[in-house]
Structure 1
C-alpha cells in the first residue's frame, strides 16, 4: 500500500504510537495522533484527543493501532465499520521493512529468548536489530533495515491481533498459559491470537514449538512451516531437548550437543527452555553451532527477571518484576533456595492465583500484597491454607519493601514477583522493577 500523501490516524500516543507516526513521515504519509486521553499536549505531531471527530471518517485512509489499544473499543469498531483498514504497528513496520525476520511469542520466556537470540545473531551477523515488545518499537528500525539485515522481534498477543501480512522466516511460541483474560476474554481467543504468528508462514519457513505444551504440540501438526519442537522432559527423535543436564539437537539423524547446562550463567528449567528456543531458531538460518555455544555460555539473563539486586543485613533481594502473570511468577518462586518474603499484586488481568499459591510449597514466609489485586490474592491465599497472619496488605511498593526489611531474618530472601501487570501504580514492569531496586538500596 502506497501511503505517500495519505492521511493516517495513529491511535495511541505513547512510545509505539510516536514511533509509528515517525515511520509514516519517512514514507511520506500524513499522520496524526489520536488518543482518548484529553490531557495530552501536542508535541511533534498533530494530536487529537477526546471524542473522535466524525468528519475525519471520510478523510482517513488507514488507522495504525498501538498495542495497548483494545480492538473492541467502540471507537475502533466505528473506524472499522467505516471501512478504514486497520493495521497494528508491527504490521506497519513489517510492510516497510526488509531482510530476515525472526519473531518470538508465548506467555512466558519471550523477553529472555528474544534477548538471547539477539545476542547470538549479533555475534554471527552484525547487522541485527532486536525490537518489539522488548522495549524498542519495531517501527523505529524498519526504515534502517536492508536486504541483508536480521530483525529479532518479541511479539505480544496484543500486537498479533492486528497483523495481516506479517511473515517471519522463523517464528517461535515458547508456551501458552492463562494471561490477559481482561483483553482476550477467553482462553480460546488468547490461543488463537498467539498462533497467528505462524499464519502467513509457508513450507520454506520454520516454527519452533514447545513439545510439552499440549496445545502447541497439536498446533504443530496443522501448520505449513517446518516445525522444530523443543522439550525439557524427554529425548526427541528430531528437535532440541534436555538430556541429563545437556541441551542436545537432533536433526533426525545426527545428535549434537548445544551446551552443558552446568556452563550456563542463567539458572532454572525455564531458562534452559529459553536457550533451546533461541538455539533452534538460530540453527534454522544457518548459524554455526560453535557461535551459538559461545554466546549462550556468556549470556547473563535480562533485567527484571529473577535479578539479583543486593544483600542487606544478610537478607538477599531479588527483582522479578517481569513476573507479570501467575505462571511467570511461579518460576520466580521455584528459583528461590531460601525462606522468602514475597511481594505480589498489581493490575487485575482477571487471572486465577491458585496455582501460584500452591507453588509456594513452604518457601514463602510472608505474602506482602499491593495494588488492585491485593484483596483478591489474599482471599485466594487464605483459601489455599496460607497462614492469614502472614498476609500483609500495603498501600504501595515502598511500604511493602519497608515491611519486608523489618520482618526478614538473616538468610532470608525478599522477592518482588507480582504475578500481575504493573498498570495502575506504574507505567510498566520496568518502572516497577527500577523503583523496587531504588527502595531496596535506600534501606
Structure 2
C-alpha cells in the first residue's frame, strides 16, 4: 500500500488528539472514510468537526463505543496514549481489527527514504540533529514523529526524492506492521514506561522492533556501551548492517570518543571528525547523540563537510538541558524532558558545577536509587514537587542526602532555588518523572519553569 491511497476503505482512528486529527485528515484526503473515536465524552463533537471539511466522510463517536459502527472496519489507527490492554482495545482485537500506529499509517502513504530513531533517552535531540543534517546535505527533508509533528501531517508532501527523519516512541512501535526505515537507530535502553510495558523484556523487544522489517540493504546504528544493544547488534539473525558508536570504549569499526574528539573508525583506521568543544551541546550523552546522527548521515551518503557544518551550528532542543537565563550569577537550565531517572542522571552529569535540582512529578513506577547516587556531591539542594516527592525524599534520605525541600508548585520551587543558590551555581529542572497531574505534558512544565525563571 506504500504511496497508494486508502480509497473506499473505512478506517477507525482511536484518539482525537493531535496525532488522531492528523491521521484522520490523511485518510480522508486519500479517499477513505473514517470513524473517529475518543473515550472522553466531555469532548465537543462540534469543535472536532471544525478540523475537517463539511462533507467529510466522517463519523465521530465519543464516550462509550457503539460497536455497530465497527461494521466493515479492518484497521484502527491508534493514538500512542491508548494502553493496548484496555477493554476497548480488546473489543477491536476480538473482531480481528488490525491495530496500526500513526507512524505505520504515515509510512504506508509516504514516499522517499525514511530514517527512524528510538531509545529511552536522547532520541529527540538525535532526531532534530539528524533532521538538520539531512536538510543541510539534501534540502528536501522532513523531521516528524514523537518530536511534535505527526508523520501523517507531512506524508502527502513527501516525494520519491525526499528524506523523512522520525522519532519513534515505544508506544508508537507497539503497533507497526510494515514500518521500514532505511536507517534506524536505538540510542540506549534503560527502564521507562514500565507502568505500561510491565517488564524490561517487553520494553526492550518493542524498542528493537524498529528494525523488524529491515533488510540487508539497510542500516542499524546502536550504542555499543549499552549491553542490551551490543548483544542485539551481534545477533547472527539480524539483517541490517550494524554500525556501533561508543563514548567509553575504542572501536575498530564505528564511531568513538578519543581525548575530546569524535572519530570514525574503519577497520582500525581512524579519521578525526570534530572536537567536542566545537559543539554547542553539553554532556557526554549529547556527544553520543552527535555520533548517532553522524553515523546515520554517513549511511545516507551525506557529504562529511555538510554533516559537520550542521553539527557545529546545532543548538540544544527546547526542554533538553536548555539554557534559560543567568540571574545574579546563577545559570538556569530547563531539562523538563528528563522524565525518567536515567535521563535526569545525564542532565546532572552535564552540569559544570554545584547544582540545585528541581525534581518530582507523576509516578511511572521508576526506581530513584541510581539517580540519587549520581548526585555525587554536585547537587547542593533537592527541591521536590508532585506526586512522587515523598517517595523520592525517602529514597534520598536512605542514601544519606538530606538537603531536601518541598514546593507546592513550580513558582515556589524556582523561588526556593533562587534564594539558596550562590553565584556560580546552576539551577536545573530535570524531574526524573512525567509531568502528568501538575501539567498536561513536559513542554508545558518546561515553559512554566522558564516563565518563573525570567520573572525573577
Q: TM-score, normalised by structure 2?
A: 0.94
- In structure 2, the partner of 1:122 is 135
Q: Does 1:340 align with 2:340?
A: no
**Alpha-carbon separation, structure 1, partners of 2:126 and 2:144:** 12
Contact 1:41 1:47 in 2 (8 A): no
Rounded to whole Å, the distance in 2 between the matches of 1:335 and 1:247 is 18
Aligned equivalent of 1:230, options 245, 268, 276:
245
1:243 to 258, 261, 279: 258
How far residue 407 of structure 1 moved from its aligned partner, in angstroms, is 2.4
Cα deviation digits, residues 226-264 of structure 1 (max 9, x gap): 001001112211111111211111232643222122221
1:394 deviation in Å? 1.9
Whether 1:285 and 2:300 are equivalent positions in the alignment is yes
Are 2:107 and 1:94 aligned?
Answer: yes
Matching residue of 1:39: 42
1:378/1:249 CA distance change after superposition, 3 Å:
same
* 1:221 aligns with one of 214, 234, 242: 234
SS, match of residue 164 in structure 1: coil
Q: 1:416 aligns with which of 425, 429, 446?
A: 429
Quick one: which of 8, 17, 24 aligns to 2:27? Answer: 24
Unaligned ranges ≥5, structure 1? none
Specify whether residues 380 and 362 from structure 1 end up closer, same or farther in structure 2 by C-alpha distance, changes over 3 A only: same
Structure 1, residues 54-110: CA drift from partner, whole Å, max 9, x if none? 212324232110111111111001111111111110000000011000000001110
Q: 1:262 and 1:403, CA in 2 relative to 1: closer, same or farther beyond 3 A?
A: closer
Q: Which of these residues, 5, 8, 12, is aligned with residue 15 of structure 2? A: 12
- How many equivalent residue pairs? 441
Q: 1:370, CA displacement in angstroms?
A: 1.1
Corresponding residue of 1:184: 197
Matches within 5 A, 1:25-424: 25-42=28-45, 43-44=48-49, 46-222=59-235, 223-252=238-267, 254-387=269-402, 390-424=403-437
1-structure distance, mates of 2:265, 2:407: 51
Distance 1:427 1:195 in 2: 29
Per mean C-alpha deviation after superposition, the further-off stretch among 226-235 and 186-195 is 226-235
Contact 1:11 1:63 in 2 (8 A): yes
Note if contact 1:321-1:433 (Cα within 8 Å) is conserved in structure 2: yes
Shift of 1:25: 0.8
Cα displacement string for residues 148-204 of structure 1 (whole angstroms, at most 9, x for unaligned residues): 000000111010000010000000001101111111010000000000000000000
Contact 1:309 1:319 in 2 (8 A): yes
Distance 2:33 2:75 in 1: 10
Distance in 2 of aligned mates of 1:408 and 1:263: 29
After alignment, is 346-355 or 402-411 more displaced?
402-411
**Is the CA contact (8 Å cut-off) linking 1:100 and 1:169 kept in structure 2?**
yes
Task: Supply the distance in 1 between the matched residues of 2:413 and 2:60 (Cα, whole angstroms).
Answer: 39
- Structure 1 position 409, deviation (Å): 2.7
Q: What's the CA shift for 1:411?
A: 2.6
CA distance in 2, matches of 1:315, 1:237: 43
Q: 1:13: Cα distance to partner?
A: 1.2
Q: Tell me the TM-score normalised to structure 1 length.
A: 0.97
